[in-house]
Amino acid sequence: ARGRAIIPANINHPESEPMIIGRNFLVKINANIGNSAVTSSMAEEVEKMVWAIRWGADTVMDLSTGRNIHNIREWIVRNAPVPIGTVPLYQALEKVGGIAEDLTWEVYRDTLIEQAEQGVDYFTIHAGVRLHYIPLTVDRVTGIVSRGGSIMAKWCLHHHR
């Protein structure tokens, strides 16, 4: 495989209509939704998804970081006719009480499996954040702007890996 196109279609998400993303295909629009610790409900997240799709989103990322992530994602997936993506690191962090240093491969792996079994079609995985590169971010005006990237950097620095 040369990685020229993907069809994000999890068999556990039968509500989704297949589509293709790749260099030889039309540009796709992604919309980000998700709850936080201070706001939003399951119904509100589904409503955000419906509106995003109505206004042209081809895919939707659930970036929920608050409580009840699993159930909110279930509602989103079950009501989504488009592929749904996540950042599994956010839910894995929730499982360890928000303490990045307590993350383990087992917690992360189990979260990936849980989300795949639930029907998530694609994941953002912060594989490029490595201990060797973290010092390069020190002099940046904005530091690491990715939430997932900063979580990974914190873990790397704590575990020296």
- How is the beta sheet containing 122-123 ordered, strand by strand? 30-33, 59-62, 84-86, 122-123
Strand partners, 84: 60
**Structural domains for the chain:** 5-125 (3.20.20.540), 128-161 (no CATH)
How large is the average pLDDT for residues 20-41? 92
Percentage of the chain lying above the pLDDT 90 cut: 86
Strand partners, 130: none
* 2 vs 50 pLDDT, higher one: 50
What pLDDT score does 68 carry?
86
> What region does 21 belong to: left with phi over 0, alpha with psi -120 to 50, or beta?
beta
* pLDDT at 154 exceeding the cut of 80: yes
Q: Are 132 and 156 in contact (CB under 8 A)?
A: no
How large is the average pLDDT for residues 51-68? 95
What pLDDT score does 3 carry?
79
With 0-12 / 13-18 / 19 or more C-beta atoms within 10 angstroms meaning exposed / middle / buried, residue 135 is exposed
What pLDDT score does 1 carry?
66
Question: pLDDT (tens digit, 9 = 90+) per residue, 85-144?
Answer: 999 999 999 999 999 999 999 999 999 999 999 999 999 999 989 999 999 998 999 989
Q: What is the C-alpha radius of gyration for the chain, rounded to an integer number of angstroms?
A: 17
Percentage of the chain lying above the pLDDT 70 cut: 99
At position 97, the amino acid (one-letter code) is G
